Amino acid sequence: MNGKSWGLFASIALFAVSLSACSNTGGHVDTSLIGSTGNEESSGEKITLRYSSYLLDTAQAGKVYYDAIKEFEDQNPKIKIETDFIQNNNYTAGIKIRLLGGEQMDVFDTWSPSLFEEFRALRKDMYLDLTGSGFLDDFFPNSLKPVTIDGKVYGAPEVMHSDGLLYNKALFDRLGLKIPQNWDEFLIVCEKLTQKGIIPIATDSEWSTAQFFWGSIMSNNGADADWTRKLEEGEVRITDPIFVEAIKMHKGIIDRGYVPSDWQSLKHEQSKDLIGQGKAAMIITGTWDIPSIQERNPNNDIRFMMVPGRKKTVPNINVGTYRVINSKTKHPEEAKKFVAFMTGRSTQEKLAAGASAVPSVVSAQIDNPVAAEIAAAVTREDATLYWPHTVSTETLQTQIQEAVNRYLAGQSLEATLQEIQQFIDGAAEKRRSVK
């Protein structure tokens, strides 16, 4: 998964809630308990729900979705699911075209709170209110916060990831290196790797990569949703040390030569090759990349590492997907049944097993030791929503990220900060004009 696909990324706390009856079925949800219009039985005709997503490709994860859809249809013979696959790079535009063009849109996915808000900006009543639905009791309470507006819940979370660094534990063990607990220790580890002729940190030029490093430092520095609100409302400027220090720390690892010398010409798959081949020890990305890097060399042991901070290190939580229902669907109860099933324990466990992810369903089993390590981080009390996902819209989030990328590639800090502030001010002006 890349940043935009699974992009990561929502706020989770401790395991704290009980399961509802549907969760106890292990994902084979008795959807008759969720509600039914009764229309399908009286008419004898199938109801068709259209499910639009960037997840419905032919990869292993896609197979899990198609298998789950078939199982749902077998359990609910009066409901037919029409799948609508939209490629990742075209997803935002694809959903907008469908919504604005009046196409049938019943259930669809978003990959971040920012994208959730981007779609909601098209129509304030975009999403069906799910508040009070029994299946919501299955999730970690705080995983619902990014899709909760004025106390009402409008989406269901899927598996959780984190982001920052992956590292080759086998290589670390061979060299006698330990996971750094603070920024100074991190720089020492990078220097030792350099002296051994190993690239400390694989990275690349793709726009979505860098955010996982400096975005993690933002969390360490204290940035959260409240700080971002103040930034967008003008109470805080982008020159705030919380932001400036984060991107300067990222630039520092580039200036020290701790990344590939040709990083600006590398694609993400090439940077994954570097760590897979043992040429690099760490890589900037999210936990969704663990399986594909591990496959490059089964002798490696790819694990997750938080980006250490100067004073504290805070876990990031990145929910890959939120499933939402169009408020204009003609079949709201059937759509709720489908969402309940697709985000249920069984489906999430299968997805998590293949992606070293953490189910957002409280009762889910985690057998993968790597996923268990990630779960220990993202369920900490101080775990926080991955910072770029706190930005109000996908458009503004992308503008900030791309400007930071230009800074990392050599643009001056002053020009970068000025550029980003203009983006923030422009977004604020647009909001005021809409009101």
Task: Say how many C-beta atoms besides its own lie within 10 A of residue 422's C-beta.
Answer: 13
Number of domains observed in the structure of the chain: 2
Which residues, including other chains, have CB under 8 Å from residue 337's CB and lie 6 or more apart?
A: 29, 31, 34, 35, 36, 72, 76, 79
263, 348: one domain: no
Residue 140 lies in a domain: yes
Closest among 157, 90, 122, 172 to 323, alpha carbons compared: 157
| Residue pLDDT, tens place only, 190-232 | 999 999 999 999 999 998 999 999 999 999 999 999 999 999 9
Phi, psi angles (nearest 5°) of residue 12: -125, 145
Residues 181-197 as b or e (16 or more Cβ within 10 Å = b): eebeebbebbeebeeee
Residues 247 and 296 in one domain: yes
- Residue where one domain finishes, among candidates 297, 314, 331: 314
What CATH number did the domain enclosing 240 receive? 3.40.190.10
pLDDT digits (tens, 9 = 90+) for 123-148: 989 999 999 999 999 998 878 988 99
Mean pLDDT (the chain, rounded): 88
The strand pair at 280-286 and 163-168 is best described as: antiparallel
Q: Supply the range of the domain harboring residue 102.
A: 23-161+318-380
| Claim to verify: residue 114 and residue 193 sit in the same structural domain | no
| Nearest 10 degrees: Cα torsion 241, 243, 244, 248 | 130
Residues 105, 172 within the same domain: no
Tokens 């899990």 belong to residue: 64
- The confidence score (pLDDT) of residue 257 equals 98
- Once rounded to an integer, what is the mean pLDDT over residues 2-8? 38
- In tens, the pLDDT along 147-179 reads 999 999 999 999 999 999 999 999 999 999 999
